[in-house]
Structure 1
Amino acid sequence: MSIFTGLFRSRDKPQNRVGSAFSFLFGSTTSGKTVNERTAMQTTAVYACVRILAEAIAGLPLHVYRYRTDGGKERIPQHPLYSLLHDEPNSEMTSFVFRETLMSHLLLWGNAYAQVVRNGRGQVVALYPLLPNKMEVNRAVDGELLYTYYRDADESGIKPEGGYITLRRDEVLHIPGLGFDGLIGYSPIAMAKNAIGMSLATEEYGASFFANGANPGGVLEHPGVIKDIQRVKDSWNTAYQGSGNAHKVAVLEEGMKFQAIGIPPEQAQFLETRKFQIDEIARIFRVPPHMVGDLEKSSFSNIEQQSLEFVKYTLDPWVVRWEQSLQQSLILPSEKPSLFIKFNLDGLLRGDYASRMSGYATGRQNGWFSANDIRELEDMNRISAVEGGDLYLINGNMTKLADAGAFAANQSKEVSR
């Protein structure tokens, strides 16, 4: 163990950076807009992508299973973890809200944390979400990971002024996103802050454009010398600035002329830029554009295929990440060889009704589906074994190629006798 201890000691503290000089952080962007997890959520595309993925993970059935000796699996609702994951992880939250919260943290900060409360036997009795921006991950002298969490005055019931609390590895459920060291994930928002900043900038430009009466800025030209420039400017703005003053007739005195100097939105490709930023943000989260309201390249013939690809290429990697983190942190070492935690994606992978019925018919006629197998997939009640619910049937006209004609040959022998 001394070799491994020395190895752990030699490793740097887990950090959200490449090398030692360049860090990916929230902050200002080339567009001039400050981007962080909260300002990013003010962008409709980011909000839509986070909500879609968080609600998808939160809505999936989540169960605890046991391996069977015959190679199958069985659900074990009597296990203490089952009710925590399936129903309510703590007395204040449902399973849906808990998973939705952690998934939104994972998408915005790149990490999701929850405090694991255990009883004297080491079994998990409660899970409470922890904010990633208040968590710091360090290493102890022996190389073990330590989680330091800052509790402010609202969270701390012991210290009114707040303070830090250190949690061991077995006291924290940590689901990391894509990261540099495999321990700490980095934020998609921080990595793509320029794309999100541009979206915020174009949205603000559009809002200010309509706030100015849907007209670009300009200058007032006067043939002479104006004694009180500010008074003329204020008078003009009062009369004609703002969406409430749009389309009013301007009256110019003393030979003044209005000369627009702003770029109209159609010349600045304002609408095209906003639309491209929606696709850009959807690309960050790998969400199909039709799911955030962009139906330009979608049709009735390909939306179903795009939805299946969303489950396969977008949702499934997140599901595996969740399953393995839950199993690593929550299942006792003595139970790991026999228990596992799994999401059920079958409902999202269903095709249309006609396709499902055709597939069920094929499976039923060829012996790998019983009536109860099909009824469970369709969320219907089982029928009793007496009524044939568990029978596996095949067509009687199917036989091995070597036996083809054997029955007819035997019959002809019987006749000849």
Structure 2
Amino acid sequence: MSILDSAFSSMFNKSEQRVNSSIFEGFGSLISFSNVHTPSKMKVRNALKISAVYNAVEQISNDLAKTPFGVYRDVNGSKERLRSHPADRLISLEPNYLMTPFVYKKLIGNSLLLRGNCLFKIYNDNRGFAASCEYIPWDDVVDVKMIKGELYYYIKGMKLPLMSNEVLHFKQFSLNGIVGISTITFAAMQLDMTLKSQEFSASNLENKGVRQGVIETDKIIKEKGGIIQGWRNAMAEKSADRIAVLDDGFKFKPITITPQELQIIEQQRFSVEDIARWFNIAPHKIKSLVQSTNNNIEQQSLDHVTDTIQPIVTNVEQEFGKKLFTTKEKENTYVRGNLNVLLRADVKSRGEFYSKMVNIGALNRNEVRELEDLNKGPVLLDEYLTPVNTYTESQLNKNLKE
């Protein structure tokens, strides 16, 4: 039975009810704990040596960090920003004394992509509201257990485990909804092959194309060690114009790169495409412009926001909403990430969009100013415009009566 088969069978075996047992029993090897090796022993620091992986993580985490989050309340169908709420301060102003909001959100993105999980311990103020949070490296998580219906996190260096309501636990792809699994875990074989092709190319570059070979001669050689060592000494020189002289009829015949080896080197270009698939990111975002043109790159950027960033933002929004509000607040209070920051197009496109939205009455002119980070204008700009040719029947009757 494969690792994945074992994981799924242990998760969905309803006849066995686990009590006081580890969440990872049956598929612990899929979880990127510090004491558990992924297939091919792929480690995070090795994966980040691949430029496409590093750039994919950097791009996605930066986009998450740029997205502003805030606490809102639904008041009769209208949303109201609650800047005075402790959760709003934690999310958008000061998560803790060590981090800015940008660093805080970027850390969430990095940990999700590289570890599959991101954990923060919540500290409450004297009123019971979440006031700050402390980052806990996922490698420090020793175990996660379900005990009598409550989830407990066992952390290295902590005497007592943390309960689920004491932590913010963001998770990526999950097989049980409780802990996530890193992309690197599943992509280990692909990433390992990419690293080896990089090492192969570097080795050829370092040797300047001179690799293994044989020295030929028609004579019978009794002492071979001296000849081999002499060749090695000559080729070990760091000089750019190193020269080796063979006399007495000796000839060096290099073992050249085979077509298969050349394909390994060329494979590095195709691995970028595979890495883009693993991290669900548009290839042009990790600087691969092979299939990008001026006509489709804007659409690809929109797809990047909706397909790559929005699911992560929604994941973060819901974890904040679940852990940072009281039961009563959850009825009409929520966290929202503003993706409009990532969707801002060029000035011309924005102008056309705002013009259409104002003309159909979807936005008023002061709302447009707010979206552009401008101060509000006169009260007159709060009024919504309606085109004359789109008046409703009631509006027409009212105008006729007047």
Of residues 382, 386, 392, the one that matches 1:390 is 382
Q: Which runs of 5+ in 2 are unaligned?
A: 1-14
The CA distance in 2 between the partners of 1:124 and 1:7, in whole Å, is: 37
SS at 1:268 equivalent? helix
Cα pair 1:26 1:193 within 8 Å, conserved: no
Q: CA deviation at 1:328?
A: 1.0
Of residues 141, 145, 161, the one that matches 1:166 is 161
The CA distance in 1 between the partners of 2:114 and 2:371, in whole Å, is: 34
Identity of aligned residues (%): 31
Of residues 30, 33, 43, the one that matches 1:36 is 43
Structure 2 vs 1, CA of residues 247 and 171 (structure 1 numbering), >3 Å: closer, same or farther?
same
Of residues 108, 111, 116, the one that matches 1:102 is 108
Map 1:27-106 to 2 at 5 A.
27=38, 29=40, 34-69=41-76, 71-106=77-112
CA RMSD of aligned residues (A): 2.9
Map 1:149-160 to 2 at 5 A.
149-151=155-157
Cα pair 1:16 1:179 within 8 Å, conserved: no
The CA distance in 1 between the partners of 2:43 and 2:105, in whole Å, is: 22
Partner amino acid, structure 2, of 1:171: E
Q: CA deviation at 1:331?
A: 1.7
The CA distance in 2 between the partners of 1:167 and 1:214, in whole Å, is: 57
Q: Which residue number corresponds to residue 213 of structure 1?
A: 208
Q: CA deviation at 1:399?
A: 4.2
The CA distance in 2 between the partners of 1:177 and 1:399, in whole Å, is: 48
Q: Which residue number corresponds to residue 247 of structure 2?
A: 253
The CA distance in 1 between the partners of 2:25 and 2:67, in whole Å, is: 30
More helix by share: 2
Map 1:369-408 to 2 at 5 A.
369-385=363-379, 388-399=380-391
Q: CA deviation at 1:368?
A: 2.1
TM-score normalized with structure 2 length:
0.86
Structure 2 vs 1, CA of residues 399 and 341 (structure 1 numbering), >3 Å: closer, same or farther?
closer
Structure 2 vs 1, CA of residues 181 and 140 (structure 1 numbering), >3 Å: closer, same or farther?
closer
Q: Which runs of 5+ in 1 are unaligned?
A: 1-5, 152-162, 411-417
The CA distance in 1 between the partners of 2:302 and 2:26, in whole Å, is: 34
Looking at CA atoms only, which structure, 1 or 2, has the larger radius of gyration? 1
Q: Which residue number corresponds to residue 176 of structure 1?
A: 171
Of residues 15, 23, 26, the one that matches 2:24 is 15
Q: Which residue number corresponds to residue 235 of structure 1?
A: 230
Cα pair 2:360 2:386 within 8 Å, conserved: yes
Cα pair 2:30 2:181 within 8 Å, conserved: no
Structure 2 vs 1, CA of residues 403 and 295 (structure 1 numbering), >3 Å: closer, same or farther?
closer
Structure 2 vs 1, CA of residues 254 and 360 (structure 1 numbering), >3 Å: closer, same or farther?
same
Structure 2 vs 1, CA of residues 120 and 369 (structure 1 numbering), >3 Å: closer, same or farther?
closer
**Count, aligned residues:** 383
The CA distance in 2 between the partners of 1:316 and 1:297, in whole Å, is: 24
Partner amino acid, structure 2, of 1:58: A
